[in-house]
Amino acid sequence: MATRHLHQHDLAERWRISERTLERWRWIKSGPAYIKVGGRVVYTLEDVESYEAAQRQTGGAQ
């Protein structure tokens, strides 16, 4: 099974955030893991989904 990759533009659209936000997150070492090859940045779909799961919050006051 082939690994699916998302480009920065694709991930920004998926999360409805700016590409600049993803760039800033990489700069401060935050956000999902990424791969940089030849100056291009891609995210594996597996890493994106794992990051999303880790960000999941439960509702309710504490």
Phi, psi of 54 (to 5 degrees): -70, -25
Distances (CA, A) of 5 to 25, 49, 60: 18, 12, 35
Q: State both tokens at 1.
A: 């099974």
Q: State both tokens at 41.
A: 């940045």
Query: Rounded to an integer, what is the distance from CA 33 to the centroid of its chain?
Result: 7
Give domain limits for the chain.
5-54
Identify the pLDDT of residue 1: 67
pLDDT means over runs of 10, the chain (62 residues): 90 98 97 94 97 88 60
Query: Rounded to an integer, what is the distance from CA 48 to the centroid of its chain?
Result: 5
